[in-house]
Amino acid sequence: MSRLDDLHDLTGKVAVVTGGSRGIGRAIVQVFAEHGADVVIASRKLDNCQAVAAEATASTGRRALGVGYHAGKWADADALFERVLDEFGRIDVLVNNAGMSPLYESLGAVTEEMYDKTLAVNLKGPFRLSALAGEWMVAHDGGSIINVGTAGSLMASPNELPYAAAKAGLNALTAGFADAWAAHGVRVNAILPGPFRTSLSEAWAPPPGEEVAFSPMRRLGEPDEIAPLALHLASRASSYTTGAIIRVDGGITRRV
């Protein structure tokens, strides 16, 4: 094993990935398992979580657990945290990847229910789960928390304003939690994806291979282009990195 491989080795670690049953979350689950971590896939649809867990175990031999979890519910964060400790006895890496960005016809058409649900899933859940996991990490061997936000939090458009506002709050949580726990071996960082080709982008994404005019790189990102960065932030390779807000957007933000 090379020194770089050793730094990225997650053997003996337990990693929790919310929204881990598809897209970017699923890619992160797979790369974590490939590098030795036992993984917990947490999302609303339990069947999908269990299917991804089975695939991760079959392909890597690592232990994997699917757990039903609604990121917008405070009690679900508590239950997920307790389930992980009951099953594995520890939590070393938390990836807050679950999110939602509902469509609406106009800003005036945004309902209170839609607004509250968007902020709950994208901001309230990550706060509670990070608070629980982070304090456990402080009391034990340290750890890493990774928040998956959006480049839109830096350049909000009227088409996704509640979502962008919630993810901007997630950037603030990243900075605040990083400051709170930096001296205790707990690192907190954020990844801000731009437009990626996932099931969530199917409604608007051009066909594969077609040029994407609004992207400086002329294409959408792929989930596998996020997962290696998440591995880096989860591992000892990034031992002096905390409070970082890292864009992975093909250069779109720099155009603004």
The CATH code of the domain that includes 160 is 3.40.50.720
| Residue 101 token pair | 């960005």
115 included as an active-site residue: no
**What per-residue confidence (pLDDT) applies to 207?**
66
Buried b (16+ CB within 10 A) or exposed e, 94-105: bbbbbbbbeebe
Q: What is the pTM of this model?
A: 0.93
- Of 69, 104, 163, 240, the catalytic one is 163
**What per-residue confidence (pLDDT) applies to 204?**
59
Q: What residue spans of the chain are helical by DSSP H? A: 3-7, 23-34, 46-60, 74-88, 112-119, 125-139, 161-181, 227-234
- In the predicted model, residues of the chain with pLDDT beneath 70 are 1, 197-207, 211-213, 217-218, 253-256
Task: Confirm if 177 and 130 have CB atoms less than 8 A apart.
Answer: yes
Phi, psi angles (nearest 5°) of residue 10:
-110, 20
Contacts 24+ apart (CB under 8 A), 236-242: 236/7, 236/8, 237/4, 237/7, 237/8, 238/144, 238/187, 238/189, 239/187, 241/187, 241/189, 242/178, 242/182, 242/187, 242/188, 242/189
**What per-residue confidence (pLDDT) applies to 155?**
85
**Could you give the number of structural domains in the chain?**
1
Instruction: Supply the range of the domain harboring residue 221.
Output: 3-255
**What per-residue confidence (pLDDT) applies to 205?**
62
**What per-residue confidence (pLDDT) applies to 152?**
87
Sign, Cα dihedral of 173, 174, 179, 185: positive
